[in-house]
Amino acid sequence: MAASQPQPPRGSPPVINFGRLGKDPATRALAVQDIARACRDQGCFQVVNHGVSKNVMAGAFEAASEFFQLSPEHKELFASTDIRRPVRYDTSSRDGISKARSFLKHYANPLEDWVEYWPLHPPSYRKKMGDYAVEIQRVSMQLMDAILQGLGLRPLYMQEKLEKGVQFLALNNYPQFSHRGDKVGLAAHSDYGFLTILLQNSPGLEVMPHDRDTWTAVPAIPGALHVHVGDHLEVLSNGRLKSLVHRAILNPDEARISIASIHGLSMDEKVCCAEQLVDEVNPAMYRESSFQDFLEFLPSNINNYKRFVESLKIDRA
């Protein structure tokens, strides 16, 4: 008898069995519908049965934890205020949203182009995080195929561009909430790319689902991956899907690590509204933009935070 699918607390993001995407056409079609509904109604969901092994996920957490436990001199090798560095460590951010976290950010796709820049310490970092990055890139490709199918776009739409696209890993280390000061570790924001796939080891992620105007805690279901819509998917869909506003809350019981994998097109590749989703009744609602445009947008956003997607909207008044 098959194990029952984990059921989230009432009101939290839906849990979707990823394995159904690889079944017969009828089963896949139902899974695509479920994903499309979750993206449209809430902007996020969790996936189980995704094929990423427990060992690979545990290895990623171990690599992240061991990196953050290194002496300051090891971590400071990657300290920089230059947001274009291929690997960057900081204890605060220049993005205007970080409150209490340290982080390590680096590119990961294609792995062979970036892994040489990654930390050499801890010694297993490149192997463990590399194994995780490759598996999550696979998951992202399959999810994007399903999401684009749900939008009515042709099979394998943009597949080659997605395969060559950016995968940006952000490892976040949040302290335990001390019951003094702000409980927010990372303020409300949305992510720039198509999809963000997040692995968390304990509760702390909160989302603002589209179908209700209230913060909702995302449970840390063992083995599940949290997925949410980014700004560039909102643009590509011409507003049919909306990027998810989310934040991180400090956990009162323990320090917390999360690993976010953000997926988009290559650095200079422009994202625009899909022509199949634009007509006289539904004109293009967003200007085209690239990851490079997002990086150029960030410095102006430090003291007066504005979501990137808001800067792309075309005023049709």
pLDDT digits (tens, 9 = 90+) for 129-149: 999 999 999 999 999 999 999
Integer angstrom CA distances of residue 109 from 134, 164, 201: 8, 7, 24
3-class SS of residue 224: coil
The verdict on whether omega for the bond into residue 25 sits within 30 degrees of 0, i.e. cis, is no
The answer to whether the peptide bond before residue 110 is cis (omega within 30 degrees of 0) is yes
Give the integer Cα–Cα distance in Å for 97 and 69.
24
Return the pLDDT at 179. 73
Question: What are the distances in angstroms from CA 182 to CA 43, 99, 235, 245?
Answer: 26, 8, 33, 19
Which pLDDT value is given to residue 80?
Answer: 86
Q: CA 232, CA 144: separation in Å to the nearest integer?
A: 12
What distance lies between CA 256 and its chain's CA centroid? 17
Q: Side-chain half-sphere of 204: how many Cα atoms within 13 Å? A: 30
pLDDT of residue 25: 95
E strand or H helix that includes residue 228? strand 225-229
Give the model confidence (pLDDT) of 70-129 as tens digits. 999 999 999 988 888 999 998 865 555 667 788 999 999 999 999 999 999 999 999 999
Q: Check if the beta carbon of residue 117 is closer than 8 Å to that of residue 86.
A: yes
Residue with tokens 């499309």: 36
Which residue do the tokens 């001199």 mark?
A: 73
C-alpha 77/C-alpha 94 separation (Å) is 18
Q: Return the axis-axis angle of helices 25-41 and 125-150, rounded to nearest 10°.
A: 90
Is residue 219 within 8 Å of 203, Cβ to Cβ? Answer: yes
Q: How confident is the model at residue 211 (pLDDT cuts 50, 70, 90)?
A: confident
Q: How many CA atoms lie within 13 A of 272 on its CB side?
A: 8
Q: What is the mean pLDDT of the chain?
A: 91
Mean pLDDT of 255-272: 96
Q: How far is CA 245 from the centre of its chain?
A: 12
DSSP percent split of the chain into helix, strand, coil, nearest 5: 35, 20, 45
CA distance readout (Å), 265 to 126, 147, 161, 200, 280? 23, 16, 6, 25, 27
- pLDDT at 2 (0 to 100): 43
Whether residue 303 is predicted with pLDDT greater than 70 in this model: the reply is no
Cα Rg of the chain (Å, integer): 19
* Cross-strand pairs, 197: 227, 261
CA end-to-end span of the chain: 57
> Under CATH, what is the fold of the domain 15-311?
Jelly Rolls (2.60.120)
199 DSSP β-pair partners: 259
Q: What is the spatial distance between Cα 183 and Cα 98, in angstroms, rounded to a whole number? A: 12
CA distance 192 to 218: 20
pLDDT for position 8 = 58
